[in-house]
């Protein structure tokens, strides 16, 4: 018998004109690792909430069909009863922690079931060990980092040994390291404890290698259900916005798409497109020198390849202005030391020229948001200097914080709405907008075009603008940023997004900028802070995105 059985599921939220789920049929077997893919508004979250019983018991609305979990029909069993079978993890870790310490948080679900004290204590210890939370057990939840909170929330979801755990974009607020750790942890739980995992995510390239099966949703329907490799073939054909950079790269070269970086490399090597491991690494170390050498030799395929390598290695730093060397923004040795607390910035230095587009990367807590706040004048440095050539516009992490009026038209001037493609939504309530639309509206607000005589910004700073956005929305945002005249500084965990818009990347750690280099250089060779394309090509030529790589590889007559 299937663990989860969904038949004829149609569901609409209260007051919604369109159904969020429209005729979903599926069966999930015990022990499967299922990745749920789809754009924003495709019904991913709603499907997960239907499995956990929140739909319809918590949200209300119109519900038709049946969802059965371990034999229990969700029509007859609410989320509390289903919690015995289903663990649920949402996007925002802060809203999922209800107790004061990690130990109490883990014990909460077990105590709700009325388990004996000794069993609660034993299970909490075991879960903490399994999830490497044992060192955090006595820590107050208020002091945990985002990654730690999400791990604790995962622990609280699985502590009761549910048969299935449903996760709704659990990595969207985590840095690449914490995100990868969480996915690896899920895979381990799946393999060792036979835990069924249903994971909804936008960053498919990070999750596909762990998945056994992919469900693609579109307009509330299952548009694909099959193995990850089949999914990539289908996505390339039917839904390119769901395809991964690696799949586009291999497909562009006429090869079968692969879900994992290792398999993709092997495929490229087998096709003679990529050299053996040692050779390709040697090649990545000196692309520019090779390009120069090729140029000196003149002509031939080798020369052409060298030119391309040089092209992609060159800092594509947007449209830097050559109006002298006056920076649009300059931070020189900026410190921010809290009274009776730690130093959040430790001598951070960064310069942006007009028209430059820079991605600010680093782990959670590295100081990225604080640096942006200093740039915009929301915080004052305790030491160091900061200069800006004009107004610094800052868009903070949550675009919803800017949306305080009853209509989109009241939020920003008409001209700004037109420029950001929002004029058709002018009459809508801002809270009805999708994530991508909200992001664009918030950007229109902070840029302040035509707002009370505010001058155009010299610098535009954005803090984690792609959280929860699908690929199409990210692409739209990247294009929008590339069209701005101002210098752009974006704090992001999203390497693919950084590669799409930034010419330069500044990497922060422990309050300081520890690396500042062209994107092609900084994002090409890492494990975490690297795009999938760069990882597949092992940093070859500083190529970061699939389309660049295809141009490079198709153009070279003599391949590595």
Residue 454 engages other proteins in binding (rule: CB under 8 A):
yes
Least Å from the CB of residue 229 to other proteins: 33
Count of other CB atoms within 10 angstroms of residue 391: 17
The first and second tokens of residue 303, run together, are: 């020369």
Torsion-angle region of 468 (φ positive above 0: left; ψ -120 to 50: alpha; else: beta): left
Residue 99 engages other proteins in binding (rule: CB under 8 A):
yes
- Closer Cβ to other proteins, 20 or 560, answer by number: 20
Count of other CB atoms within 10 angstroms of residue 264: 26
By CB under 8 A, name the one of 340, 427, 483, 527 that touches other proteins. Answer: 340
CA 6 to CA 26: how far, in whole Å? 5
Residue 112 engages other proteins in binding (rule: CB under 8 A):
yes
Contact 222, 8 (CB under 8 A): no
Contact 35, 244 (CB under 8 A): no
- Closer Cβ to other proteins, 278 or 452, answer by number: 452
Residues that bind other proteins (rule: CB under 8 A) add up to a total of: 68
Taking the mean position of all CA atoms in its chain, how far away is CA 140? 27
CA 308 to CA 295: how far, in whole Å? 11
Contact 520, 308 (CB under 8 A): no
Least Å from the CB of residue 269 to other proteins: 46
Residue 100 engages other proteins in binding (rule: CB under 8 A):
yes
- Closer Cβ to other proteins, 195 or 543, answer by number: 195
Considering only 185-193, 223-231, 402-410, 552-560, which stretch makes contact with other proteins by CB under 8 A?
A: 402-410
Residue 517 engages other proteins in binding (rule: CB under 8 A):
no
- Closer Cβ to other proteins, 322 or 339, answer by number: 339
Residue 230 engages other proteins in binding (rule: CB under 8 A):
no
CA torsion angle 107 112 116 119 (round to 10): -40
By CB under 8 A, name the one of 68, 265, 357, 373 that touches other proteins. Answer: 373
Residue 499 engages other proteins in binding (rule: CB under 8 A):
no
Residue 114 engages other proteins in binding (rule: CB under 8 A):
yes
By CB under 8 A, name the one of 79, 320, 347, 526 that touches other proteins. Answer: 79
CA 502 to CA 529: how far, in whole Å? 14
By CB under 8 A, name the one of 2, 364, 398, 475 that touches other proteins. Answer: 398
Residue 452 engages other proteins in binding (rule: CB under 8 A):
yes
Least Å from the CB of residue 25 to other proteins: 24
Least Å from the CB of residue 529 to other proteins: 27
CA 203 to CA 172: how far, in whole Å? 8
Report which DSSP code applies to 117. H
- Interaction with other proteins in 421-450: which residues (CB under 8 A)? 431, 445-446, 448
CA 120 to CA 535: how far, in whole Å? 44
Burial (CB count <10 Å: 0-12, 13-18, 19+), residue 209: middle
By CB under 8 A, name the one of 132, 270, 404, 514 that touches other proteins. Answer: 404
Residue 416 engages other proteins in binding (rule: CB under 8 A):
no
End-to-end, the C-alpha distance of the chain in Å comes to 51
- Closer Cβ to other proteins, 53 or 327, answer by number: 53
464 strand-pairing partners: none
Considering only 134-142, 246-254, 473-481, 529-537, which stretch makes contact with other proteins by CB under 8 A?
A: 134-142
Least Å from the CB of residue 553 to other proteins: 43
- Closer Cβ to other proteins, 117 or 323, answer by number: 117
- Closer Cβ to other proteins, 6 or 236, answer by number: 6
- Closer Cβ to other proteins, 365 or 503, answer by number: 365
3-state secondary structure of 96: helix
Report CA Rg, the chain.
25
- Apex CA 350: angle with CA 373 and CA 382, to 5°? 50
Report which DSSP code applies to 457. P
CA 247 to CA 494: how far, in whole Å? 18
Taking the mean position of all CA atoms in its chain, how far away is CA 554? 30
Residue 403 engages other proteins in binding (rule: CB under 8 A):
yes
- Closer Cβ to other proteins, 316 or 451, answer by number: 451
Residue 96 engages other proteins in binding (rule: CB under 8 A):
yes
By CB under 8 A, name the one of 20, 83, 222, 348 that touches other proteins. Answer: 83
By CB under 8 A, name the one of 451, 472, 515, 559 that touches other proteins. Answer: 451
- Give the largest Cα separation in the chain, rounded: 80
DSSP string, 475-534: HHHHHHHHT-SSEEEEE-S-HHHHHHH-SEEEEEETTEEEEEEEHHHHSSS-SSSS-HHH
The residue ranges that bind other proteins (CB under 8 A) are: 52-54, 57-58, 78-81, 83-84, 86-88, 90, 92, 94-101, 103-104, 108-109, 111-117, 120, 138, 140, 142-143, 156-157, 160, 340, 373, 376, 378, 391, 393-398, 400-405, 431, 445-446, 448, 451-454
């Amino acid at each position: 018998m299937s663990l989860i059985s969904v038949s004829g599921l149609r569901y609409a939220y209260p007051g919604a004109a369109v159904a969020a789920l429209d005729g979903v049929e599926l069966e999930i077997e015990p022990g499967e690792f299922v990745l749920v893919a789809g754009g924003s508004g495709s019904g991913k979250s709603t499907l997960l909430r239907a499995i956990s019983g929140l739909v319809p018991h918590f949200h209300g609305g119109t519900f038709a069909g049946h969802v059965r979990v371990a034999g229990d029909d969700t029509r007859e069993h609410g989320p509390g009863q289903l919690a015995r079978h289903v663990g649920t993890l949402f996007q925002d870790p802060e809203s999922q922690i209800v107790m004061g310490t990690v130990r109490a948080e883990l014990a909460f679900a077990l105590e709700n079931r009325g388990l004996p004290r000794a069993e609660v204590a034993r299970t909490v210890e075991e879960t903490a060990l399994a999830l490497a939370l044992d060192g955090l057990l006595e820590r107050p939840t208020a002091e945990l980092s985002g990654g730690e909170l999400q791990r604790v929330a995962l622990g609280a979801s699985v502590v009761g040994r549910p048969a299935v755990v449903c996760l709704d974009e659990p990595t969207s607020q985590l840095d690449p390291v914490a995100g990868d750790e969480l996915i690896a942890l899920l895979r381990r739980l799946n393999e060792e404890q036979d835990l069924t995992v249903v994971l909804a995510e936008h960053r498919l390239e990070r999750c596909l290698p762990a998945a056994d099966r992919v469900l693609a949703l579109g307009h509330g329907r299952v548009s694909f259900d099959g193995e990850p490799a089949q999914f990539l073939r289908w996505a390339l054909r039917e839904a390119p916005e769901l395809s991964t950079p690696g799949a586009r790269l291999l497909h562009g070269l006429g090869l079968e798409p692969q879900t994992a970086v290792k398999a993709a490399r092997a495929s490229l090597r087998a096709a003679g497109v990529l050299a053996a491991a040692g050779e390709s690494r040697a090649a990545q170390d000196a692309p520019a020198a090779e390009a120069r050498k090729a140029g000196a030799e003149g002509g031939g395929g080798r020369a052409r390849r060298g030119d391309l390598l040089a092209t992609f290695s060159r800092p594509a730093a947007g449209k830097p202005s050559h109006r002298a060397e006056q920076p649009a923004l300059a931070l020189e040795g900026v410190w921010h030391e809290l009274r009776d607390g730690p130093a959040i910035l430790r001598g951070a230095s960064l310069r942006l020229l007009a028209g430059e587009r820079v991605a600010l990367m680093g782990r959670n807590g590295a100081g990225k948001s604080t640096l942006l706040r200093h740039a915009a004048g929301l915080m004052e440095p305790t030491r160091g200097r900061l200069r800006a050539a004009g107004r610094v516009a800052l868009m903070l992490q949550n675009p919803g914080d800017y949306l305080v009026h009853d209509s989109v038209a009241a939020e920003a001037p008409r001209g700004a709405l037109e420029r950001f493609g929002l004029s058709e939504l002018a009459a809508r309530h801002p809270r009805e907008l999708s994530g991508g639309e909200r992001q664009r509206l918030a950007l229109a607000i902070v840029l302040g075009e035509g707002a009370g005589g505010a001058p155009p910004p010299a610098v535009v700073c954005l803090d984690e603008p792609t959280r929860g956005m699908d690929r199409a929305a990210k692409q739209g945002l990247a294009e929008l940023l590339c069209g701005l005249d101002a210098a752009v500084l974006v704090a992001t965990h999203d390497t693919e997004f950084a590669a799409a818009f930034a010419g330069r990347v500044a990497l922060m750690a422990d309050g300081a900028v520890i690396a500042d280099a062209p994107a092609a250089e900084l994002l090409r060779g890492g494990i975490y802070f690297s795009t999938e394309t760069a990882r597949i090509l092992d940093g070859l030529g500083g190529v970061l995105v699939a389309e660049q790589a295809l141009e490079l590889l198709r153009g070279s007559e003599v391949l590595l």
